[in-house]
Amino acid sequence: MPYEIYKTAHIIFLLTFIASTGISFFVETQNKQVRMIGMTSSFLMLVAGFGLLARLGIKDWPLWVTIKLIIWLILAIASPILARKLRDNRIWAFRLLMLLFFTAVVLAIYKPT
């Protein structure tokens, strides 16, 4: 598939994952469908990201790819757990997760070596 399709899919799944994370943090009734959409979009975002790496011809991962993968792993694991368990400090946990999202986006744009 072309690079543009992978990039578009990656961005769409990123936005879907952010939206489902926000919904799970700030809607009182925890909906199983929202969690399923969030985890599915997280996985598909990962797949599209690896497609982007293949299209860019990156075989040996630079540091920015490794950091983004670690951030993705933290977000994919921590988001549903924190949304379900936290009651009082949800806003701070959500802000921290958004800071991680922002860091991943900055890494993707600038690709520091």
pLDDT above 70 covers a percentage of the chain that reads: 99
Q: Is the pLDDT of residue 27 over 90?
A: no
Domain count, the chain: 1
Q: Is the pLDDT of residue 28 over 80?
A: no
The secondary structure of the chain in percent helix, strand, coil, rounded to multiples of 5, reads 80, 0, 20
53's CB contacts (< 8 A; 6+ apart) are: 61, 65
Closest to 18 measured CA to CA, from 84, 94, 106, 91 = 94
pLDDT level of residue 53 (50, 70, 90 thresholds):
very high
pLDDT digits (tens, 9 = 90+) for 73-94: 999 999 988 988 888 888 999 9
Domain that includes residue 14, residue range:
3-110
112's CB contacts (< 8 A; 6+ apart) are: 63, 64
pTM of this structure: 0.88
When the pLDDT of each residue in the chain is averaged and rounded to a whole number, the result is: 92
Q: How far apart are CA 67 and CA 47, in angstroms?
A: 16
